[in-house]
Chain A
């Protein structure tokens, strides 16, 4: 079955770079896209960006200048890198996926990883 799991540091200093990994199983990265969504504590959900099955990427326009998403298909892993972190980037970061016509958008999610930006 489809599974996604985020991993990364829980604490990042201001102005530093965040690196997160989403490890997936139950589907191929060359067939489905993986998306990152974040949620500041106690607030709503924000789409961060995606890497599509062909390897192209799209980013939230508000974050585009600081963001990079890549993948290693042999390891079934997707990577998120965001630089120049500020306190407002503190959030739970989820990965989720678009499963095509059969599964649609964001049916499966990882459990999320809390990233705190603080010195």
Chain B
């Protein structure tokens, strides 16, 4: 199984900040990497698919990059509604998720 190591686990930031969240795979996942946002009591919402493709309806302040084993989600200017938990998902083989990043208001 491919292991996904996500960092940081917790992130404290302010409205307007630029933040980055990272996922590292235990082997090459060929850009088959999605990013999700999850708010309390809700299902995950897909933000980015296949590394850098923005899901329809998701604001352009969200972007993704990476290749090989290393991937990044960037939020260019945090908005109040962005404080949530974020997960990565690799689907190069049987799906596995990163451990999550809880983004909190500083």
> Given A44-B100, A47-B94, A58-B94, are A105 and B89 neighbors across the interface (CB < 8 Å)?
yes
Whether the Cβ atoms of B43 and A112 lie closer than 8 Å is yes
- Contacting residues, chain A, for B44 (C-beta < 8 A): 45, 94, 106, 109
Q: How far is the CA of A98 from the CA of B34 in the complex (A)?
A: 13
Q: Is B62 an interface residue (CB 8 A)?
A: no
- Contacting residues, chain B, for A110 (C-beta < 8 A): 43
Give the distance to chain A from B66, nearest Cβ to Cβ, in Å. Answer: 16
Q: How large is the interface on A (under 10, 10 to 19, 20 to 34, 35 or more residues)?
A: 10 to 19
A-B contacts besides A35-B95, A44-B87, 20 pairs, CB < 8 Å: A44-B97, A44-B98, A45-B44, A45-B87, A45-B89, A45-B97, A45-B100, A47-B95, A47-B96, A104-B34, A104-B50, A105-B89, A105-B91, A106-B34, A106-B46, A109-B43, A109-B44, A110-B43, A111-B42, A112-B43
